[in-house]
Structures are given as C-alpha cells and as structure tokens.
Amino acid sequence: MSITFIDPMVIRSLNKSKLRKKILYYLYKIYPHATYLSEISRRVRSDPSNVLGCLKGLNGRYNGHFSLIELGLVECKEVNGMKLYKLTEYGKKIVEVLLDQDSDIIESLRW
C-alpha cells in the first residue's frame, strides 16, 4: 500500500463544493476514459457553465486556483477540436482515499 500526500488545499476545495466532488466521482467512475463537458454536466445534473467553473474556474464565481484542473485532479485534452476531461492519476488516488475515509466513517456509525 502506498501513501498518497493530499494537499490540504485539495481537501478544502472539495469540501467547499459538492459539485466539484460529484464531478470528481463521475470521472472516477468512467476512468480511464475521458468525456466532454456536456456529458459531465448531464451526469452530475448541473448547468455546463457551473461544471466548467469547477473544472477550470470562472471569473469571480469560481476561483481558478481551486479548480479541479489547477489542483491537478483533472486534465483537459483537445482531440479533433473537442475538449475532453479526464481524471489524472493523482485525482484517482485522491478519490480512492476519500472513498476509503467515507467507508470508515460509515462503518463506525453501524452498531
């Protein structure tokens, strides 16, 4: 088992936005495949502009420093003029740590 360093800014960013977490979990579900903005938007049931804000940051509303791409959790690749978003290896490890932590919390609540 390897230990993954989790930047506190990553945890802060994810805790401040349920949508960022939903996007991350969806991209984890389809990993290692990439997908386009409208598909992510449809799957997480949110407006494409909000999803784009979480992925890349948007003026004022979403801080770019805390975007999923800026934090290194998601990457954007252009293929045939279309932008595709994919979870990075680091993003995958972060989701696995979060899922593991959540399962520990869930288990500790059962009696």
2 within a domain of the structure (yes/no): no
pTM of the model: 0.84
H or E element, residue 77 = strand 74-79
Q: Does the pLDDT at position 51 exceed 60?
A: yes
pLDDT tens sequence across 68-101: 999 999 999 999 999 999 999 999 999 988 887 7
Q: Is the pLDDT of residue 104 over 80?
A: no
Residue 12 within a domain = yes
The CATH number linked to 13 is 1.10.10.10
Domain of 28 in residue numbering reads as 8-102
Identify residue 87 by its one-letter amino acid code.
L
Confirm whether 26 is domain-assigned.
yes
Is 1 contained in some domain?
no
111 lies in some domain? no
The per-residue pLDDT for 77 is: 95
Q: Decide if 3 is inside a domain.
A: no
Beta bridge partners of 78: 83
Domain count, the chain: 1
Of 4 and 41, the structure prediction assigns the larger pLDDT to: 41
The residue assigned the tokens 């420093």 is 65
Alpha helices in the chain (DSSP H): 8-16, 18-30, 37-44, 48-56, 89-108
